[in-house]
Amino acid sequence: MTLDGNSSMPRSGFTDRILRRGPLEAIATMIIAAGVVMLMQPFFLMLYSWSFATTLFGTVMFTLVSKVRE
Amino acid sequence: MNDLSTSSQITYRAVLVEPGVVRRIRGLSDKSLAWLFITPTIVLLLAINIFPLVWTIYLSFTNYRANRPNAPTLWLGTDWYQSILTDPDIWAAMQVTAHFVIWTVVIETVLGFGLAFLIDKKFRGHGVWTTIILLPMMLSPAVVGNFWTFLYQPQIGLFNYLVAFVTGRSASSFQMLGDVTLSPWAIVIVDAWMWTPYVMLICLAGLRSIPDYIYEAAEVDRASNWRQFWSITLPMALPFIMLAVLFRGIENFKMFDMVNLLTGGGPGSTTEVASITLKRAAFESWRTGYSSAFAIILFVTVFGLANIYVKALNRVKSR
């Protein structure tokens, strides 16, 4: 027996908090934005070379996580 | 009674003629009927959107050239992608695109929001001014490109005379479209002139969606106009501004027609935005495989940005 009044409430773990549509979409959005910035920046050719892979990864991730539960 | 019996006979005969068909249509569920109606649209969409996309993806891995359709097609893997993503010339075209996108979006957003803020204050004749301000965005980019070419003429152009009047320089001493330094700004000015009204419209929708009682509560609390602007107007109109920024960013990333008409990418390659480089590779050099890979790179970028745009749109809709 416990005296904790909130023991009957479902406890949300780290993965429950992270593996939701909102945070995952935000991460995917940041990756897409980073890819676009890498594509257009005038400083490093290396970043430009990796921009397409980054944008593609972000876009695929966004498409997949939009199916994850809210 | 006679009419009724006639119509009953007609129905009876119709049922008699094709009883199977009628029974089949009557037997369709709502879902089946819905599929029946949307199938032509889906087929059309597959034929004119999805098939060309899949075909372009395939071509981007080959050495296909559209001007030699009978030549043997070789599978090159990701060679074109590697070539494009290490090519300094393409990188330079991306930087020209970035200059165009960033400056047009910044100018259009600042001017558009400012105009929306002014139009939102209902003054005498604001309806007429709104119509006049909206005129440029109703014109075709081809028309705009052509008449701005005349406006930028060093000898007869109104723009040069206006600059000469303000600065005191000779009107024919500078060429907006022929100068390496000025031409990137020339295309920015034209796009800003044409699309600022559009940004204004979106911002105006945002400003009109703010309920009056919030301002009334702020006035009761003796908040200054400046404080009301920073604490109420700007935060509440921000999702709409974001929407306008994303939409204009995507549109200008793909910009082709107006720039092609104004400068054709010149002088040199100072205004050669990505879509003009793509057109040159596809229809001047006839490197179809290479240009397909380039098109896919641009498509993925636009698709990624469009995802963010839809997310922003949903946030605005949920307000």
pLDDT digits (tens, 9 = 90+) for B206-236: 999 999 999 999 999 998 999 999 999 999 9
Model pLDDT, residue B1: 42
Chain B residues closer than 8 Å to A35 by CB: 301, 304
Nearest to B67 by CA among B265, B281, B257, B299: B281
DSSP string, B268-281: TTTT--HHHHHHHH
Chain A: residue nearest B249 by CA? A36
Model pLDDT, residue B6: 53
Mutate to test the interface with A, among B91, B246, B299 (most CBs of A within 10 A): B91
CB atoms within 10 A of CB B293: 27
Query: Is B115 within 8 Å of B207 (Cβ atoms)?
Result: no
Chain A residues closer than 8 Å to B297 by CB: 52
Chain B residues closer than 8 Å to A32 by CB: 304-305, 307-308
ipTM of the shown complex: 0.79
Model pLDDT, residue A17: 67
Looking at per-residue pLDDT, the higher value among A67 and A56 belongs to A56
End-to-end CA distance of chain A: 34
d(CA B87, CA A57): 22
Q: Looking at the whole model, is its pTM more than 0.90?
A: no
Q: What b/e string do you get for B199-231 counting C-beta neighbours within 10 Å, with b at 16 or more?
A: bbbbbbebbeeeeeeeeeebeeeebeeeebeee
d(CA B80, CA B64): 12
CB atoms within 10 A of CB B292: 24
User: CA B283, B288, B294 angle in degrees (round to 5)?
Assistant: 95
Model pLDDT, residue B216: 92
Q: Judge: B91–A52 Cβ closer than 8 Å, yes or no.
A: no
Q: Is A18 an interface residue toward B (CB < 8 Å)?
A: no
**Residues in chain B where the model's pLDDT stays below 70:** 1-26, 319
Distance between B240 CA and the closest CA of chain A, angstroms = 18
d(CA B204, CA B119): 8
Distance between A48 CA and the closest CA of chain B, angstroms = 7
SS (H, E, C) B208-227: HCCCHHHHHHHHHCCCCHHH
DSSP string, B71-87: SPPPB-TTHHHHHHTT-
